[in-house]
Structure 1
């Protein structure tokens, strides 16, 4: 009897925790960026400079920050476009799967911009790239999936809102 009850409890808990896995993935994205930035700063601590002169790194000085900012723009665009493809008549499960896909694409693009600029800092020792990595990281951090935001973006109603 206890074994059956424990099994039912797990089913009920997992049914009501639909948002937790994606929040965990978001946290992993954030930790990955922070860890890589910390390691880069630790390794390059003796040779870090802060320079905006184009002659120092050539095209990398302009290209990497630009790619970081473009990846944020593309991430937001793709996210909004994918959310627009969700019909209000879709089932809750279908809406959630489409939301998770859109969210992961957005986070991956935000993380890519941050990691690219951290790599540029690692290669050149110029900490100006960390500034642009920070912008991408801030965009990633602010995109954390919160229950109220997910409800609003998916236009969920009462029975489905309790499943998050």
Structure 2
């Protein structure tokens, strides 16, 4: 399947990635704040009422995050070094979005645990996940390093 690359300038793709990344962070963060402020059942660090199965979920979240990061690296290795810069960036964008989604999903899972258990400990885990998601924000230098761009491609990206 050939993707339409007509409106995909390098700067446009980086800007789009930045906006998408911000949305991946804003969604769960705002939702977690809403849950925190509207729920009257939330308790602070009273882990006596939490079913034992809920403790497994943070480990499942870590596994999902790890799988997403591995998938990202795997997708990067599949990008053809000889393909045009725009095609490389579109492939990078796809892999990056999937990586962010695999990090965002456990954040929402922890928010659901907060709703079900009424415990803020899961919100703290959510915010930790979102902090990690923030640290992988798209930067031009990171894209250049991840894609191992040539000097000419770097010039095109910086133009």
List alignment gaps of at least 5 residues for structure 1. Answer: 1-10
Paired with 2:62 and 2:10, the residues of 1 have a C-alpha distance of: 38
Q: Which residue of 1 aligns with 2:142?
A: 149
Question: Following TM superposition, by how much is the alpha carbon of 1:122 offset from its aligned partner in structure 2, in angstroms?
Answer: 1.6
1:30-41 superposed matches below 5 A: 30-41=25-36
Q: Which residue of 1 aligns with 2:64?
A: 71
Question: Following TM superposition, by how much is the alpha carbon of 1:66 offset from its aligned partner in structure 2, in angstroms?
Answer: 1.6
Paired with 1:146 and 1:15, the residues of 2 have a C-alpha distance of: 12
2:28–2:104 Cα contact (<8 Å) kept: yes
Question: Following TM superposition, by how much is the alpha carbon of 1:69 offset from its aligned partner in structure 2, in angstroms?
Answer: 1.3
Question: Following TM superposition, by how much is the alpha carbon of 1:140 offset from its aligned partner in structure 2, in angstroms?
Answer: 1.0
Corresponding position: 1:104 with 2:97: yes
Aligned length: 152
Question: Following TM superposition, by how much is the alpha carbon of 1:119 offset from its aligned partner in structure 2, in angstroms?
Answer: 1.2
Superposed CA offset, 1:118-147 (max 9, x none): 111122111111122122212211111100
1:10-159 superposed matches below 5 A: 16-44=11-39, 47-53=42-48, 56-159=49-152
Q: Which residue of 2 aligns with 1:7?
A: none
Paired with 1:15 and 1:129, the residues of 2 have a C-alpha distance of: 38
Instruction: Provide closer, same or farther for how the CA distance between residues 39 and 161 of structure 1 changes in structure 2, counting only shifts above 3 A.
Output: same
Q: CA RMSD in A?
A: 2.2
Q: What SS is found at the alignment partner of 2:13?
A: coil
Paired with 2:53 and 2:145, the residues of 1 have a C-alpha distance of: 40
2:36–2:42 Cα contact (<8 Å) kept: no
Superposed CA offset, 1:9-51 (max 9, x none): xx99x56433101110001111101101110110225632313
List alignment gaps of at least 5 residues for structure 2. Answer: 1-5
24-33 or 122-131, which deviates more: 122-131
42-51 or 145-154, which deviates more: 42-51
